[in-house]
Structure 1
Amino acid sequence: MRFPVLDGWRGLCALFVALFHFSALGNFYFNPFIRGSYLFVDFFFVLSGFVITHAYLGRLNSAPDAGSFLVRRLGRVWPLHAVTLVAFIPLEIVKALAIHGEAGAFTGRFAPSSILSNLFLVHSLGVEGELTWNMPSWSISAELFAYVTFALVCLLARRPWLVTASAVALSAAGAFVVMGWSDQYIDSSFDLGYFRCLYGFFAGHIVYRLFLAARSAGLSRLPMAGQIEAACLAVVIVFVAMARGNALSFASPLLFGLVVWVFAFEGGSFSRLLARRPFRWLGARSYSIYMVHALVIALYQKIAAVMQKLLGQPMFVESVVDSGETRLIFFGATWVMDGLALAYLATVVGVSALTYRFVEMPGQASFNAVLLGRRKPTAQPATVEVT
């Protein structure tokens, strides 16, 4: 069973997360929906739990099975993560040369001491005091440990119903920790990121089991599928705009779980739209989009800084965002900045197409060939592989 519609969702969510992080003073930046789009990280977690369960439930029956699964998952995420991490280092070297040795380069989130935690993908476990280097990669760290947890549960619980009972407990435990200890509501990352991921990942597992139960009961397609999908889209837009920075955000995995369940049936007009080739193309490259966008942002910021120096005109402005002061790129009318944001998204998509072709897929195949002793074709994306 394939879920091309969910691939389409994944591509759109990756673009919204990328746009959320782009700091340019325009209509996009201050749009409430865009400001809340960091919540789509929880959509990724739920979707990951859904499709990983679809692909592997009942297949992890022994330690070698679990080992192969974890190697494949590591091979899926680590090569591109490592390349994007290393790509930030020359930017810091340029910063050091540009400011003639003044404080700034290789400090704060770019401290050399945090390179190892990033390379070993443990930087969502509270070992760092802030987001470091390629900031979105904290969620890849959290997912990797969710995969380890899933494999252990499958090995120890054995029976599907017991795996699902364990999933309910783990999802509840993740929600309990985040609700009890996060000072940013669900927006925990480098500190409690693993628990945030547990909440969403195992919620996705539960959603998949509910989907299977519905199919087993004879529900092959939702009645009034088009209207239900439209209602889901409307609720997601309103929720994301309203839930940022408050306790409502804790419900994100629950809402996104419902959305995944509805769209997994692929019965409405919106499903048919999302299943079209452009959205599936974006979905296949969503991991690259997610991993390269911070690097593209850093390049845009450095270009703006160079232009400011060459032209003698300010290219940045300080603005209060979410009770904190943030430096935003600003050098023209609002429509100009909106155009810059769209150009940035186009750059992200273009770069992601390259990294998908020359880093992500070959890296995954080479990783599997070395550690599993088998070679996979580099051009064929795995439908159920999730970032």
Structure 2
Amino acid sequence: MQLDQITFTRFVAALTVVFFHYGQTVFPANVPFLFENVTAGPIAVGYFYVLSGFIMSIAYYQVDVSNRAEFKKLKYWVARFARIYPVYLIALLIIVAAKYKTLGEDWDVFLAHIFLVQSWIPGYPITLNTPGWSLSVEAFFYLCFPFLILWVYKKGIKQLAVFSIVLWVVTQLILTHQLNSDAYIPKNQLHDFIYYNPAMHLSSFLLGMLCGIYLKHTKDKQTSNNGFLLFASFMLIFILIWARPHLENLFGLKLAFTNGLLAPVFLLFIITLARHKGGISRVFSNPKLVLLGEASYSLYILQKPAHGIYDKVIVPRVPLNETIHFYIFLVLLIILSILSYKYFETPMRQLIRRKLQ
């Protein structure tokens, strides 16, 4: 099942993460009406989790019972390791090299990042390469995925649907309660548990899995030219993100927008785009846009070391205003991510899979 039209959305989501980290004061983020959406990076990470579960199911779930041989777990884990780890490791080592003199005795932090377990340990998730915490979460999902697929084969999609929806509701109730409790203080251990612990994001991945499996079971109904529904689902996401501070003021509560609250809306958009075969899909399937989507992982994971180098090497020597510097950095980061994808990420993935499998 070809879903090239979805790939480009990963690039757009990754861009919001870059704006969140480094471009909150530049155009278009400095337009009040657009600020929430342009800098929606933490919410976009939740989109990645939903999309990850969806794509994993599309790639690995077998509708035909006769094809459901035992899931080759080791082969799957090698493929996932080869996909994410080489660029992740390079980015981490650059950060460690920059912090070598100040790293001191905190080698346990480094080891936590090496083994992708930093998101489980309060105080550790964003200590080195900040975006790497989400890869720690993804690694947990990848570890669980084969067992989840085998469970669905045994118990059926209805069991997954009930479990996913119940877990999503329970997770949102827990997060909302904890975010608004007296114990919550930004950057304390409870903060790390709420925002970074993999268990608090699992429902997003499971809902993505559920919808991917559903789409495979309804593949004969997947073609649609309903551009209005696609546009409406996109606008719903845009409006909900824009309305976030207004909703929190209205209800007098902090809401867990970054922890899967919008997962059902994301899935509406993903399924509609996956089924859409009209002009928007054809545009999004343009090879150049697909390449940007494929390179979005490198863009996401390399942004911090790349920005650190740019900030130390270029900014002091080239007197330009903040906006121009940001966009020069962004263009260089995009070029770097494409080169990384083509000449490092892809060859390393092929090499690791060939050697280990």
| 1:302 and 2:297 correspond | no
Q: Confirm or deny: 8 A CA contact 2:222 2:274 kept in the other structure.
A: no
Instruction: Tell me what 1:26 maps to.
Output: 26
Instruction: Tell me what 1:233 maps to.
Output: 234
Which of 136, 141, 149 does residue 141 from structure 1 map onto? 136
Which of 269, 292, 301 does residue 279 from structure 2 map onto? 269
Give the C-alpha shift of residue 120 in structure 1. 0.4
Which of 359, 365, 372 does residue 344 from structure 2 map onto? 359
Of stretches 243-252 and 31-40 in structure 1, the one that deviates more from structure 2 is 243-252
Q: Confirm or deny: 8 A CA contact 1:138 1:193 kept in the other structure.
A: no
Instruction: Tell me what 2:354 maps to.
Output: 369
Q: What TM-score do the two structures reach when normalised by structure 1? A: 0.75
Give the C-alpha shift of residue 189 in structure 1. 7.3
1 or 2, which has the higher strand percentage? Answer: 1
Q: Confirm or deny: 8 A CA contact 1:16 1:37 kept in the other structure.
A: yes
Aligned-partner Cα distance in 2 for 1:170–1:60: 27
Q: What TM-score do the two structures reach when normalised by structure 2? A: 0.81
1:76-95 alignment to 2 at 5 Å?
Answer: 76-93=83-100
Q: Confirm or deny: 8 A CA contact 2:20 2:39 kept in the other structure.
A: yes
Of stretches 21-30 and 32-41 in structure 1, the one that deviates more from structure 2 is 21-30
| 1:112 and 2:82 correspond | no
Of stretches 361-370 and 280-289 in structure 1, the one that deviates more from structure 2 is 361-370
1 or 2, which has the higher helix percentage? Answer: 2
Of stretches 281-290 and 168-177 in structure 1, the one that deviates more from structure 2 is 168-177
Q: Confirm or deny: 8 A CA contact 1:37 1:240 kept in the other structure.
A: no
Q: Confirm or deny: 8 A CA contact 1:8 1:279 kept in the other structure.
A: yes
Question: Deviation digits for residues 218-261 of structure 1, max 9, x if unmatched?
Answer: 45315xx2222222232222222333684161522121111101
Aligned-partner Cα distance in 2 for 1:252–1:282: 24
Aligned-partner Cα distance in 2 for 1:189–1:72: 29
Call closer, same or farther: CA 1:135–1:304 in 2, change over 3 Å: same
What percent identity do the matched residue pairs reach?
19
RMSD: 3.0
Give the C-alpha shift of residue 294 in structure 1. 1.3
Q: What SS class does the counterpart of residue 132 from structure 1 fall into?
A: coil
Of stretches 238-247 and 272-281 in structure 1, the one that deviates more from structure 2 is 238-247
Q: Confirm or deny: 8 A CA contact 1:117 1:127 kept in the other structure.
A: no
Aligned-partner Cα distance in 1 for 2:127–2:216: 39
Structure 1 spans left out of the alignment, 5+ residues: 97-104, 312-330, 373-387
Instruction: Tell me what 1:342 maps to.
Output: 327
Question: Deviation digits for residues 269-313 of structure 1, max 9, x if unmatched?
Answer: 322221112210101111111111111121233237755xxx9xx
Question: Deviation digits for residues 71-106 of structure 1, max 9, x if unmatched?
Answer: 21112111111111111123224xx4xxxxxxxx32
Q: Confirm or deny: 8 A CA contact 1:50 1:208 kept in the other structure.
A: yes
Q: Confirm or deny: 8 A CA contact 1:164 1:206 kept in the other structure.
A: yes
Structure 2 spans left out of the alignment, 5+ residues: 249-253
Question: Deviation digits for residues 87-142 of structure 1, max 9, x if unmatched?
Answer: 1123224xx4xxxxxxxx327xx943311011101111125445121111111111
Aligned-partner Cα distance in 2 for 1:113–1:229: 46
Q: Confirm or deny: 8 A CA contact 1:33 1:241 kept in the other structure.
A: yes
Instruction: Tell me what 1:194 maps to.
Output: 198
Aligned-partner Cα distance in 1 for 2:356–2:166: 33
Instruction: Tell me what 1:314 maps to.
Output: none
Q: What SS class does the counterpart of residue 208 from structure 1 fall into?
A: helix
Call closer, same or farther: CA 1:204–1:39 in 2, change over 3 Å: same
Of stretches 166-175 and 285-294 in structure 1, the one that deviates more from structure 2 is 166-175
Q: Confirm or deny: 8 A CA contact 2:11 2:293 kept in the other structure.
A: yes
Q: Confirm or deny: 8 A CA contact 1:221 1:266 kept in the other structure.
A: yes
Aligned-partner Cα distance in 2 for 1:37–1:342: 17
